[in-house]
Amino acid sequence: MGCSDIINRLYAQIEELQNPMTAATAESKTYQFQAEVSRLLDIVANALYSNKEIFLRELISNASDACDKLRYRALTEDGLMSSNQELSVLLEPDPEARSLTVTDNGIGMNEADLQDTLGAIGRSGTAKFMEALENSKDSNLIGQFGVGFYSAFMVADLVTVETRKAGEEQAWRWQSDGKGDYSIEPIGSRPVGTRIILSLKEDASEYAERQRLEHLVKKYSDHIVIPVQMPAEKQDVGEEGEAGQESDEWLVTLNTASALWTKPKSEIAKEEYASFYKSAAGAWDEPWETLHFNVEGHLEHTGLLFIPTARPFNLFEPDRKNAIKLYVKRVFITDDCQELAPAYLRFMRGVIDSSDLPLNVSRELLQASPILNLIRKDVTKRTLSALKSRAKKDAEGYDAFWGTFGAVLKEGLYEDPDQREPLLELARFRSSTQDGWVSLADYKARMAEGQSAIYYLVGEDLETVKRSPHLEGFKAKGVEVLLLTDPVDSFWTSVVGDYQDTPLKSVTRGADDLAAIKSGEDASEESASEPVKEGDFAELIAAMKEALEADVKDVRLSERLTDSPVCLVADEGDMDMQFARMMAAHGQEIPKQKRILEINPKHATIKALKERPAQLDDSVQLLLDQALIMEGEAPRDATLFAQRLSRLMA
Ligand code: ADP
């Protein structure tokens, strides 16, 4: 055996391992679905009861995407499409055979495409998605997540795909009953494009009825730009029509098939916008805000953009991709153009149609295009100003938006310094003294006399943060603290120093300046409680410093504590503690920063310690561990901690 033979066999073996084949004939090969697909299919076929009808929207949307892709590729490759070829999607119901066929003349698939796309799910977060799907039983999720093809198995017990890829000779048949495996075989010639034949389940015979399909296309796919057609009914055609002869006259178009964004605003009803949003974004919620604009002059483009009401599935996937579709002069170019909008607006959906870009624009050209840069600026400005006016007009609705997308928008605070000011105006926060969401402007207006900073506390979740010892002094003084609990909060607070000249300050950092703040409520209390004499604690502090030297930077009296005996704070110029924890949790190497231990001179434990230095050692070590635990961290050494605690209890 020659060297190349061995290599060939090796490759064949690797391929076999990657695509386990369970049976093979000369022509047809059977493959196992990827484990995730099998599980998904099981849920789809057996557990999804609501909204099965959306399978049609998914198949039509795939067919229309395939047409878009062909048209786009044909711009740069000769011979892929004849000049007069009309792209379309054809629905052929057959009530007698209880089947529905969906055919497109788009890009088609070859053997590898079939294996890669119809046998596997190539995306992250699948497990989480399937959990959600299983729990909600709502089939709408399936389209959202981009595994729409499999929704066919909600209504069909056998799915056959016959397809030929543009530019290739060989056609293929993919077939599966959705129960673990699928087969692929080469078939005789067929036109370029894809035909999907659904053998409908007994309880899904309605999808072989014309009227039902007409209704569904209107409902879900009216704004697909490619015509969705159905053969005319026999009586529509007339007796003399020859059966089997395909001609446009025999077809009726079921959808409006127009680029909605090119129509003037005044001619578009709210419902039309909503239905366009749903079909363009594969969404099922109503748009929360619609932006339809036309830019003319130096730059020419039209935009029809939507802010969803509900959170799309992949919002927090690491790639942070936006999903706005780019068209050039009404020809679809791509739905993966990251230059169209900043990542912090990735919840936006819809279309940008540019007249400035060339039709055969390549990916490289897109990335470098100054035009897209200008479009992105325009999209950003428009979106933020739409949000601003909505916040003014409809505070309650805006709060709901913020609850859904605020965490994403806040990414802009550190990523886009140009928009920092408007974003700070748009931001809303939880507060230690107010219910609901508050803005920085509201906070400023409420600031107490003598208060010179906007205080915030970053933590993992609202409940923990609310109980934090760092808040005690502020609570006692009635001073408001913003409570920040999104992961992104650690980041933006490390770069945003102030809001309209008022510094933003973490309550876990530095010495606090509570003493300077006057507050009506506690003035009397303050004078009533006896003042602390610092000198009284000097000895205790010195002893504690010595005992804890290895672990803390300093020990000092606290003004921020009222109920807890101790807490840890970061030194003035040091990293915020939550930020440091988060970086560490993400495996980032950060220089170890010692923190400052503050002690509460009014607390019984501290007072007692002052009087009984004999017990100092165990108690001091325990106090530091206690401060760590209250920060949500582990004690330094669990065994030592337990031993000390037992000793003290004994
Ligand atoms: P999505 O469309 O979100 O990628 P689907 O599960 O609906 O997810 O489809 C998976 C893939 O299968 C598509 O991305 C596409 O590559 C391919 N596909 C599905 N239907 C067709 C079709 N009619 N023509 C060509 N390719 C198709």
Once rounded to an integer, what is the mean pLDDT over residues 378-399?
Answer: 97
Q: Which residue, by CA, sits nearest to atom 21 of ligand 1?
A: 62
Give yes or no for residue 107 CB within 6 A of ligand 1: yes
For ligand 1, the distance from its centroid to the CA atom of residue 369, given in whole angstroms, is: 29
Mutate to test the pocket of ligand 1, among 117, 145, 164, 332 (most ligand atoms within 8 A of CB): 117
Atom of ligand 1 nearest to the CA of 106: 24
Position 618 pLDDT exceeds 90: no
Tokens 């129509």 found at: 263
Atom of ligand 1 nearest to the CA of 107: 25
**Which region, left, alpha or beta, applies to residue 47 given φ > 0 means left and ψ of -120 to 50 means alpha?**
alpha
Mutate to test the pocket of ligand 1, among 55, 59, 62 (most ligand atoms within 8 A of CB): 62
For ligand 1, the distance from its centroid to the CA atom of residue 485, given in whole angstroms, is: 38
Q: Do domains 19-200 and 429-649 have the same CATH topology?
A: no
**pLDDT per position as a tens digit, 625-647:** 999 988 888 899 999 999 999 98
**Listing from the earlier edge strand, what are the strands of the sheet with 552-557?**
552-557, 595-599, 566-569
Q: Which residue, by CA, sits nearest to atom 9 of ligand 1?
A: 149
**pLDDT per position as a tens digit, 132-174:** 777 777 777 776 676 789 889 999 999 999 999 999 999 999 9
Give yes or no for residue 63 CB within 6 A of ligand 1: yes
**Listing from the earlier edge strand, what are the strands of the sheet with 171-176?**
21-24, 29-32, 181-187, 171-176, 156-164, 193-200, 99-104, 89-94, 228-231, 251-253
Cβ partners under 8 Å of residue 486, min gap 6? 406, 407, 410
Say if CB 52 and CB 155 are below 8 A apart: yes
**Band of pLDDT at residue 241, cut at 50, 70 and 90:** very low
Distance (Å, whole) CA 339 – CA 369: 9
Which is more confident, 363 or 389? 389
Distance (Å, whole) CA 288 – CA 140: 18
Atom of ligand 1 nearest to the CA of 61: 2
Distance (Å, whole) CA 432 – CA 585: 27
Tokens, residue 181: 């495996």
Q: Which residue, by CA, sits nearest to atom 1 of ligand 1?
A: 146
The CB-side HSE value for 57 (13 A sphere, CA atoms) comes to 29
Average pLDDT, the chain: 86
Predicted pLDDT at 523: 46
For ligand 1, the distance from its centroid to the CA atom of residue 31, given in whole angstroms, is: 19
Instruction: Give the C-alpha distances (Å, rounded to integers) separating 96 from 177, 187, 202, 234, 381.
Output: 20, 26, 12, 15, 56
Once rounded to an integer, what is the mean pLDDT over residues 64-69?
Answer: 92
For ligand 1, the distance from its centroid to the CA atom of residue 393, given in whole angstroms, is: 41
Predicted pLDDT at 244: 45
Give yes or no for residue 106 CB within 6 A of ligand 1: yes
Predicted pLDDT at 78: 87
Neighbours of 271 (CB within 10 A): 9
Predicted pLDDT at 60: 93
For ligand 1, the distance from its centroid to the CA atom of residue 628, given in whole angstroms, is: 51
Distance (Å, whole) CA 297 – CA 280: 27
Instruction: Flag the least confident range among 227-231, 301-305, 420-424, 555-559.
Output: 555-559
For ligand 1, the distance from its centroid to the CA atom of residue 114, given in whole angstroms, is: 9
For ligand 1, the distance from its centroid to the CA atom of residue 533, given in whole angstroms, is: 74
Which is more confident, 113 or 314? 113
**Band of pLDDT at residue 85, cut at 50, 70 and 90:** confident
Predicted pLDDT at 584: 77
Residues in the chain: 650
**Band of pLDDT at residue 613, cut at 50, 70 and 90:** low
For ligand 1, the distance from its centroid to the CA atom of residue 505, given in whole angstroms, is: 50
Give yes or no for residue 87 CB within 6 A of ligand 1: no
For ligand 1, the distance from its centroid to the CA atom of residue 62, given in whole angstroms, is: 5
Tokens 């993966």 found at: 336
State whether CATH 3.30.230.80 applies to domain 260-403: yes
Predicted pLDDT at 352: 96
Distance (Å, whole) CA 561 – CA 511: 12
Atom of ligand 1 nearest to the CA of 58: 7
The CB-side HSE value for 233 (13 A sphere, CA atoms) comes to 6
Give yes or no for residue 147 CB within 6 A of ligand 1: yes
Neighbours of 284 (CB within 10 A): 19
Bridge-based pairing of strands 181-187 and 171-176 is antiparallel
Predicted pLDDT at 1: 46
Mutate to test the pocket of ligand 1, among 36, 60, 64, 65 (most ligand atoms within 8 A of CB): 65
**pLDDT per position as a tens digit, 449-476:** 889 999 999 988 898 899 888 898 888 8
Position 21 pLDDT exceeds 80: no
Once rounded to an integer, what is the mean pLDDT over residues 71-94?
Answer: 89
For ligand 1, the distance from its centroid to the CA atom of residue 149, given in whole angstroms, is: 6
Give yes or no for residue 465 CB within 6 A of ligand 1: no
Atom of ligand 1 nearest to the CA of 102: 23
Give yes or no for residue 117 CB within 6 A of ligand 1: yes
Once rounded to an integer, what is the mean pLDDT over residues 278-291?
Answer: 90
Give yes or no for residue 104 CB within 6 A of ligand 1: yes
Q: Between helices 210-221 and 270-281, what is the axis angle to 10°?
A: 100
What residue segments make up the domains of the chain, in order of their start? 19-200, 260-403, 429-649
* Superfamily the domain 429-649 falls into: Heat shock protein 90, C-terminal domain (1.20.120.790)
The long-range contacts involving 277-280, CB below 8 angstroms and separated by at least 24 positions, are 277/306, 277/308, 277/349, 277/350, 278/220, 279/57, 279/61, 279/220, 279/221, 279/222, 279/223, 279/224, 280/223, 280/325, 280/349, 280/350, 280/351
CA 393 to chain centre: 27
Q: What are phi and psi of 302, to 5 degrees?
A: -120, 145
The architecture (CATH level 2) of 19-200 comes to 2-Layer Sandwich (3.30)
For ligand 1, the distance from its centroid to the CA atom of residue 164, given in whole angstroms, is: 14
Amino acid at residue number 643: Q
Q: Which residue, by CA, sits nearest to atom 14 of ligand 1?
A: 117
Secondary structure of residue 509 in the 3-state scheme: strand
**Band of pLDDT at residue 212, cut at 50, 70 and 90:** very high
Best CA proximity match to 137, nearest among 10, 209, 48, 232: 48
For ligand 1, the distance from its centroid to the CA atom of residue 151, given in whole angstroms, is: 12
Position 247 pLDDT exceeds 90: no
Cβ partners under 8 Å of residue 561, min gap 6? 469, 472, 473, 567, 598, 599, 600, 602, 603
Say if CB 277 and CB 287 are below 8 A apart: yes
Position 526 pLDDT exceeds 60: no
For ligand 1, the distance from its centroid to the CA atom of residue 121, given in whole angstroms, is: 11
Atom of ligand 1 nearest to the CA of 150: 6
Predicted pLDDT at 439: 97
For ligand 1, the distance from its centroid to the CA atom of residue 76, given in whole angstroms, is: 22
**pLDDT per position as a tens digit, 323-362:** 899 998 888 888 889 999 999 999 999 999 999 888 777 7
Predicted pLDDT at 124: 63
Position 189 pLDDT exceeds 90: no
Instruction: Flag the least confident range among 36-45, 439-448, 475-484.
Output: 36-45
Query: Where are the strands (E) in 360-472, listed by range?
Result: 430-431, 454-458
For ligand 1, the distance from its centroid to the CA atom of residue 333, given in whole angstroms, is: 16
Cβ partners under 8 Å of residue 250, min gap 6? 231, 232, 237, 241
Which is more confident, 585 or 356? 356
Give yes or no for residue 146 CB within 6 A of ligand 1: yes
Predicted pLDDT at 385: 96
Distance (Å, whole) CA 268 – CA 256: 13
Best CA proximity match to 177, nearest among 201, 203, 206: 201
Mutate to test the pocket of ligand 1, among 33, 149, 162 (most ligand atoms within 8 A of CB): 149
Best CA proximity match to 354, nearest among 336, 379, 327: 327
> What residues pair up with 520 in beta bridges, in sequence order?
none
For ligand 1, the distance from its centroid to the CA atom of residue 531, given in whole angstroms, is: 73
Once rounded to an integer, what is the mean pLDDT over residues 354-375?
Answer: 84
Position 128 pLDDT exceeds 70: yes
Give yes or no for residue 151 CB within 6 A of ligand 1: no
Q: Which residue, by CA, sits nearest to atom 10 of ligand 1?
A: 117
For ligand 1, the distance from its centroid to the CA atom of residue 257, given in whole angstroms, is: 20
Predicted pLDDT at 386: 97
Predicted pLDDT at 236: 54
Q: What is the pTM for the complete model shown? A: 0.75
Distance (Å, whole) CA 101 – CA 108: 15
